[in-house]
Amino acid sequence: MGALDDAEPLTAAERDEAITDLADVEVFRSLLEPQGVLGLVLDCPECGEQHFFDWELLRGNLKQMIEKGQPQVHEPAFHPDPADYVSWDYARGYVDGVIDTEERR
């Protein structure tokens, strides 16, 4: 049995956060994918390195967390071009900028 088999189920707050994150990823993708962004780069708290995740992998991980309480086993992108990925904060700022621009019209 691996570490994922021993994972604690998500609390209600963690599940709500995962649902919010999934909605955010969908919005990020809808606005950033047409700009050539392939996904997000996330800092890994376990190894301290950056991991690059394409949109489908992020979506799948969040859906599995919501449904089963743990992420799926996966491998981040192999030899990604960092220019094709953005951070969560960048994506959030981009979306906020688009919303602000639309509200001013």
Predicted pLDDT at 80: 87
What are 29-50's pLDDT values in tens digits?
A: 999 999 999 999 988 888 888 8
What are 64-91's pLDDT values in tens digits?
A: 888 888 766 656 557 889 999 999 999 9
Predicted pLDDT at 73: 61
Predicted pLDDT at 67: 87
12-30 average pLDDT score: 95
Instruction: Give the separation between CA 65 and CA 58, rounded to whole angstroms.
Output: 11
pTM of the model: 0.81
CA distances (Å), origin 11, targets 5, 17, 56, 67, 84 = 17, 10, 24, 12, 33
CB atoms within 10 A of CB 52: 19
